[in-house]
Amino acid sequence: MNLTSRSFIALLGFCIFVSSLELQAKESVDLVVSANYVLTMDRNNTLLEKAAIAIDKGTIVAIGNAALIDEHYAGRQHISSANQVIMPGLINGHTHSAMTLFRGIADDLALMEWLTKYIFPAEIQFVDPDFIRAGTQLACLEMIKGGTTTFVDMYFHPKEIAKVVDECGVRAVIAAAVIDQESGYAKNFDDAMNKAESFIQEWKNKNSRITPAIAAHAAYTIAPEKLKIVRKRANALDVPVSIHLSESKAELEIVNNLYQDTSINHLEKIDFFSGPTIGAHVVWPTAEEIPILVKRKVGAIHNPTSNMKISSGFAPVSEMLDAGVKVGLGTDGAASNNDLDMWEEIRLTALIHKGRSLNPKAMPALRVLEMATRTGAEAIGLAQTSGSLSVGKRADMILISLDAPHLTPLYDVISHLVYAVDAQDVQTVIVDGKILMQDRKVLTLDEESIIKNARAIAEKVNREIRLNK
């Protein structure tokens, strides 16, 4: 062997040695995700180009330049997406997930007629554990495919809802429904409260993705003394309360007739806001009531599609945000929406408040995107966990393709996310560091069987409704 050959072998050995040192120097993590853009939605709404996120044990351990992340972290799994944007998963602050099975059952009606003549009777007749499980599976499938990673639910049989959430991998605040009437799930208020407490005791601290809560239906369906019981028990159990709040003019009329007051004032007087509260809708707060929401740290969830469809009105979102209310976005249930598409809520929120105020600068795109992510997490009490991408937070994120014709050309990522992106543009969904959907294929739910089962239940519902007419 000549000198040149020996030198080459020595050099090759040195390169292998150096490469081995570099590999050893890399920190091993579960997952590295990289894309053209990373929108963190942190306090500075940082937008990074050609960036990556390192994830280990469900937690974000690093965010930064893709080359630097690759230099320091070795992912056991790697998702690399060229023309995509990584952002926090969307937060649906108010829904009734299993009502997907009532999608289209009663349309074009005002809230009270819709509730009393169609929804309440249908719930008594059809809602059982099997219905809840099938409807919640369908809802979670729809939400995952649309990029929703966290939702707040308010419905019956919460233990069944929790089982589905546990299995499919999303994050949820699951509020056990309490109402002062027979519901099919419970005989009366006391029965509903006992079931809510049983659910909370079983599921609190059982799964870090599931936050149990109590759902008091509304100020007009639960008497004041019983609302006090809801709050007292929620505080004792250290769980939040979700409630339909100042949703419609009809609600205000009923509350005024019963208690000579408006909904928010009425609840304030009975100290209902003395613990964490998620107020759904908040369409008709007075100027005097908005400071109560701020002082009491009540999260307000804006549901523009549902509010318009049931003609409830237009919530004063800009005024609430300017005053300091934490306002998030929600879809409401699919019986009054009729889908769980958060991109629709984002776009409508940006548009209708410009029209309402005759001000094109009202509700700018970035502010609306905050409502769907970081501010939405604050409104539902999960700011420490979700809503933005930063080191130490749980890895709840989505990847959105920018390849579609309706997203071409691209001048402004945030503009596209608010005014142009649709649910089908979501390619990958990750919650708690686990991949729930990749390249549009949901990995944690059997889409075919869920849809088949939902259709079978719908046939039964439709048949029974026709027989009862």
In this structure, the number of other CB atoms found within 10 A of the CB of residue 420 comes to 16
| Cβ density class 435-466: b for 16+ within 10 Å, e for less | bbbeeeebebbeeeebeebbeebbeebeeebe
Contact 12, 27 (CB under 8 A): no
| Cβ density class 234-247: b for 16+ within 10 Å, e for less | beebebbbbbbbbb
| Cβ density class 135-145: b for 16+ within 10 Å, e for less | bbbbbbbbbbb
DSSP 305-341: HHHHHTT-----HHHHHHHT--EEE----TTSSS---
List per-residue pLDDT tens for the chain, 469 residues long: 443 444 444 444 434 333 333 445 799 999 999 999 999 999 999 999 999 999 999 999 999 999 999 999 999 999 999 899 999 999 999 999 999 999 999 899 988 898 899 998 899 889 999 999 999 999 999 999 999 999 999 999 999 999 999 999 999 999 999 999 888 799 999 999 999 999 999 999 999 999 999 999 999 999 999 999 999 999 999 999 999 999 999 999 999 999 999 999 999 999 999 999 999 999 999 999 999 999 999 999 999 999 999 999 999 999 999 999 999 999 999 999 999 999 999 999 999 999 999 999 999 999 999 999 999 999 999 999 999 999 999 999 999 999 999 999 999 999 999 999 999 999 999 999 999 999 999 999 999 999 999 999 999 998 887 655 5
pLDDT at 465: 75
Give, in order, the Cα–Cα distances in Å from 437 to each of 83, 169, 387, 429. 18, 10, 19, 5
Dist. CA 89–CA 146, nearest whole Å: 10
pLDDT at 6: 46
DSSP 403-469: -SGGG-S-S-HHHHHHHT--GGGEEEEEETTEEEEETTEESSS-HHHHHHHHHHHHHHHHHHHHHH-
Dist. CA 369–CA 149, nearest whole Å: 15
Dist. CA 90–CA 386, nearest whole Å: 9
Structure-token pair, residue 62: 């690093």
Q: The whole model's pTM is what?
A: 0.93
Contact 415, 347 (CB under 8 A): no
Structure-token pair, residue 367: 């502010």
- All structural domains of the chain, each given as residue ranges with its CATH number in brackets, are 24-88+393-438 (2.30.40.10), 90-379 (3.20.20.140)
Contact 35, 82 (CB under 8 A): yes
Dist. CA 146–CA 340, nearest whole Å: 8
pLDDT at 152: 98
Contact 38, 44 (CB under 8 A): no
Q: Is 363 left (phi over 0), alpha (psi -120 to 50) or beta?
A: left
pLDDT at 1: 46
Task: Give strand ranges (E) for 207-271.
Answer: 210-218, 241-245
Q: Which amino acid is at 410?
A: L
pLDDT at 60: 98
pLDDT at 269: 98
Task: Give strand ranges (E) for 227-376.
Answer: 241-245, 277-281, 299-302, 327-329
Contact 59, 49 (CB under 8 A): no
Closest-CA residue to 31 (of 86, 93, 106, 100): 86
pLDDT at 466: 61
DSSP alpha helix (H) spans, 100-223: 111-113, 120-126, 129-146, 158-168, 189-203
| Cβ density class 177-212: b for 16+ within 10 Å, e for less | bbbbeebbbbeebeebbebbbebbeebeeeeebbbb
Dist. CA 279–CA 156, nearest whole Å: 18
Closest-CA residue to 154 (of 333, 334, 283): 333
In this structure, the number of other CB atoms found within 10 A of the CB of residue 468 comes to 8
